[in-house]
């Protein structure tokens, strides 16, 4: 089973609790283009991170407007199960390959990531930074990893995980 929809259906059929389904089209729309913009950037289709940043801002503003812990409320849904790993890939790979950082000013996005980092499920299933970098370095189209970072991201080194967040007001 490789298709996300098939996987989600399997989970829903075999593990109905908690209910992860969602019907929030606004949340879905806010997240629609983030991964394609990241892919274009990491593969040099887009020369700057401007479009990626715009999508990150869209998600940040959506989260700020709703005030919820997760995209569709205060509990995790399938949309979060799709978006949180993508955001982790964006965070780690864009930094490693392009020196792109998610701006600290995107406080609602960082709160969202902080909620994920506090979740046992996310922590237990999150790949290490080395695995994420290895995944992207295997793709021909990806910008080569700078020499200065190759030793840091060796798969043979002890795994490390980017889970710190900038200081957030009120948290």
Q: Which domains does the chain have, with CATH numbers?
A: 4-150 (1.20.1050.10)
The low-confidence residues of the chain, meaning pLDDT below 70, are 1-4, 169-171
Token readout for 52 is 């990626």
Tens digits of per-residue pLDDT, 135-165? 999 998 998 888 888 888 877 778 899 999 9
Phi, psi of 73, rounded to the nearest 5 degrees: 140, -150
Q: What is the pLDDT of residue 126?
A: 93
**42 burial level (CB within 10 Å; 0-12, 13-18, 19+):** buried
The 3-state secondary structure of the chain, one letter per residue? CCCHHHHHHHHHHHCCCCCCCCCCHHHHHHHCCHHHHHHHHHCCCCCCCHHHHHHHHHHHHHHHHHCCCECCECCCCHHHHHHHHHHHHHHHHHHHHHCCCCCCCCHHHHHHHHHHHCCHHHHHHCCCHHHHHHHHHCCCCCCCCCHHHHCCCCCCCCCCCCCCCCCCCCC
For residues 132 and 136, give the distance between their C-alpha atoms in angstroms, rounded to a whole number: 6
Q: Partners of 70 in the beta sheet?
A: 73
The pTM is what?
A: 0.89
Separation of alpha carbons 36 and 90, rounded Å: 11
pLDDT at 131: 94
pLDDT at 14: 82
- How much is the pLDDT for 2? 60
d(CA 157, CA 152): 8
At residue 3, the pLDDT reads 67
């Amino acid at each position: 089973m490789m298709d996300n929809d098939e996987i989600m259906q399997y989970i829903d059929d075999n593990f109905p609790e908690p209910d992860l389904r969602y019907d929030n089209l606004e949340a879905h729309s806010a997240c629609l283009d983030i991964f394609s913009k990241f892919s274009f950037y990491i593969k040099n289709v887009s020369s700057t991170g401007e479009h990626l940043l715009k999508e990150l801002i869209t998600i940040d503003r959506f989260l700020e407007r709703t005030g919820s812990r997760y995209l569709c409320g205060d509990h995790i849904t399938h949309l979060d199960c799709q978006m949180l790993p993508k955001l982790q890939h964006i965070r780690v790979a864009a930094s490693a390959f392009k020196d792109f950082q998610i701006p600290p000013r995107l406080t609602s996005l960082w709160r969202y990531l902080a909620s994920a980092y506090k979740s046992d499920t996310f922590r237990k299933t999150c790949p290490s930074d080395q695995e994420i970098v290895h995944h992207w370095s295997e793709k021909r189209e990806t910008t080569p990893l700078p020499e200065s970072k190759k030793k840091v991201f060796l798969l043979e080194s002890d795994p490390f995980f980017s889970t710190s967040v900038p200081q957030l007001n009120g948290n």
